[in-house]
A = this chain, B = another copy of it.
Amino acid sequence: MSVTGGGSLLLAWRLKDKRVLIVGGGDVASGRIEAVLVADALVTIISPALGLHPQTRHFIENSDRVTYHDRVFQGHDDLDGVDMVLTAIDDVEWSRQICALCRELKIPVNVADIPPSCDFYFGSQIRRGPLQIMISTNGNGPKLANIIKKRIEGTLPENVEEAIEKIGALRAKLRERAPGVGGLLGKKRMRWMVSVCNTWSIDELARLGNDSMEKLLVEGWDKGRVLKPHETGVAVPWWWNIPPQVTPGIAGFTCGVAVTVAIFILRRR
C-alpha cells in the first residue's frame, strides 16, 4: 500500500480555556470567533470599533469569554500568553508580520486569505451537538466543500446527536464501573463498547435511558455479553431500523403499485 500525499492532517484542536487572539472584527473574523467559542476558548479581539461586523459586536456584548480592545494590533506584547492567533484583516503586509511574530513565539497561526502564512486551514463544518464534521478540499474549492457539506447534512440520521450523547454517557458509566487507563481492561472496555454500537441502531442508542444503561452494564458488561435493545426495554418498531437509503425505494414501489392498479381499474370501467 502506498500513500498519496497532498493532503493535510485533520485534527480536533482542544481550546478549552485556552487564549485565542483574533485580530480583526469583520465578517470572516466573526466566523472565527464563533468557531473558537464552540471549543470553549477564551477570546481576545483586537479591532477598531469602526470595522466591527454586527455578529462580532454581538459576541463582544453577550459572551463573558470575550475580551475586546478597540484598537489595531500593536505587536509583541499583544501575543503575551496567547495560545493561538487568527487574523482576518485587509492589510496584507501587517498580516504577514503578525504571522512572523507568531512563528517566532511558536504560536499556531492562521492568516485569512494568505495560505503560506497559515499553520492550519479551516474547512466547512457541521455541528450537531457532540458531533462535528469538517469537510476540506485542501484549498481547491471552498464552495464545493460547502455543497458537499449540505449533502452530508441531509443524510445524517435525525437523532444522531442524542445517540452520541448516550453512548458517551454509557462509556463514562463503564469507566466508573471498571476504572483504569490502558492495558487489557482498556481493550476489553473498548471491545464491549464497539459491540454495543454494532448491535444497536442509532435510533435505539438515542433512546437509551438511565435504567436501560444500568441494565446494559449489570446484566451485560458484568456477565461479559451485550444485551439486545429489547432485553433492556428499549425497542423501536422494526421499520424504524430500515436504512434511510431504502425508504425512497419502498415509497417509490408503493406508488408504482398504486398507480398501476388505479390505471387498470379506470380502464375496466
Give A residues with C-beta under 8 Å from B.
1-15, 34-41, 55, 58-59, 62-63, 90, 92, 106-108, 113-114, 118-123, 125, 127, 129-141, 143-144, 147-148, 151-152, 154-157, 160, 163-165, 167-168, 171, 181-183, 186, 193-194, 197-198, 202, 205, 245-246, 248-261, 264
State the CA gap A156–B147 with chains docked (Å). Answer: 11
Q: Which residue of B lies closest to A89 (CB)?
A: B182
Residues in B with CB closer than 8 Å to A37 are 3, 5
State the CA gap A147–B121 with chains docked (Å). Answer: 26
Question: Copy number in this complex?
Answer: 2
Cβ–Cβ contact B252 & A260, under 8 A: no
* A12-B122, A256-B256 known, 4 other contacts, Cβ within 8 Å: A11-B12, A11-B122, A106-B106, A131-B138
Residues in B with CB closer than 8 Å to A141 are 164, 167-168, 171, 193, 197
Interface residue from B148, B186, B248 paired with A113 (Cβ < 8 Å): B186
Residues in B with CB closer than 8 Å to A2 are 62
Residues in B with CB closer than 8 Å to A35 are 9
A-B contact pairs, 25 of them (CB 8 A): A3-B37, A6-B38, A6-B130, A7-B39, A7-B132, A8-B13, A9-B38, A10-B134, A11-B11, A11-B122, A12-B138, A13-B120, A14-B119, A90-B182, A113-B181, A123-B132, A131-B136, A131-B137, A140-B168, A144-B164, A144-B197, A148-B156, A152-B152, A253-B253, A254-B256
